[in-house]
Structure formats: C-alpha cells, structure tokens
Homo-oligomer: A and B are copies of this chain.
Amino acid sequence: PEKDGLIHGVAAAELQAICTTALDARSGAYCPYSLFRVGAALLLHKEDAEGKKVLKGANIENASYPVGTCAERVAMGAAVFAGHKLGSFKAVGVATDMTEFCSPCGMCRQFLREFLSLDTPIFMFNKEGKFIVRTMGEILPLSFGPDVLPPKE
C-alpha cells in the first residue's frame, strides 16, 4: 500500500537503492548448474558500522544440488552474522534475469521469516527493474518463527 509517497514505508530513493543493488548482486552468483542468476538486497533501517545501508547476496550452487544456497540466504546469513537481527531490516529485494517476477523459494521465505517482521515488504524485480511487492506475512502465511519453537537460551 502507498502512503505519503511511500510504498510499505519505503521511500523512492530507498526503493531505487534496493532495485539497483539486487540487480547488481546477480553478477556475484555462482550458478553453473541452473544458469539462473538471482540477486538479493536487504535494506537496513539505518546504516551499519561500515556505512552500508543495503546488504546483498547471490545464489551459490553446488554439484550436489541440495547443498547449494539461494541469494536470499547468502545475503541474510551474512547480515545476521554481521550483527543485524529482527528489527534491523526495512525491506528485501530479489532480482533475476527473467521478464516475469520471481519470488523467493519456500526455503528462503522460512529463512527470512526468522529475522523479518511480518509486515516487511519484499520487492520482486524483473530484469528491467519493474516489480511486484508483498509482505513477509503475505508470502508465508500461517508461518512459524522463533516465537513458536521457543529458543532454549
């Protein structure tokens, strides 16, 4: 939903940054098996210690297909390792080389769910930068996260 010139709370300049970053991130993909490049971008609520506002990743495949990992998990794995967590992320973007809009796979939706609030927007860009957008809660309804299987700490 748009409001005050924002899309799900994301300003035009931020959306442009997500789009550019996700499209650029595709070049970091290692995908000799699928030949399907995917780029992911994570918009932070505020700049991190290194002055970065948007983090990124791409798919890294493996000769044993199930062992490879997707763009969204490479990006989010590194982001969480760097200290970001639930509450840090304002939006997510994914981009492919297709004309159609491609959504995160179910495994990535589950991985993202651990660190995003349900109203966080996920922008899905085609190769030209056009997009559709859904919230985390919309693409993984009835989901469970850290709240359901209580941590043991």
Identify the A interface with B (CB < 8 A): 25, 28-30, 32-36, 56-58, 60-70, 73-74, 76-78, 80-83, 85, 100-103, 105-111, 113-114, 124, 132, 134, 138-146, 148-149, 151-153
Residues of B within 8 A of A143 (CB): 103, 106
Expressed in whole angstroms, the minimum distance between the Cβ of A49 and any Cβ of chain B is 13
Q: Are B110 and A35 in contact (CB under 8 A)?
A: no
Residues of B within 8 A of A70 (CB): 64, 66
Q: Are B142 and A62 in contact (CB under 8 A)?
A: no
Residues of B within 8 A of A30 (CB): 80-81, 85, 114
Give the interface centre of A62, A74, A82 by most chain B CB atoms within 10 Å: A62
Q: Are A141 and B144 in contact (CB under 8 A)?
A: no
Expressed in whole angstroms, the minimum distance between the Cβ of A22 and any Cβ of chain B is 13
Known A33-B34, A105-B110; contact A28-B60, beta-carbon cutoff 8 A: no
29 A-B residue contacts at CB 8 Å?
Answer: A28-B80, A28-B81, A28-B82, A30-B81, A33-B151, A34-B149, A36-B149, A61-B65, A63-B144, A63-B149, A64-B70, A64-B110, A64-B144, A65-B65, A65-B66, A66-B68, A66-B107, A77-B77, A77-B78, A78-B78, A78-B81, A105-B144, A106-B107, A106-B108, A106-B111, A107-B107, A124-B142, A140-B140, A141-B141
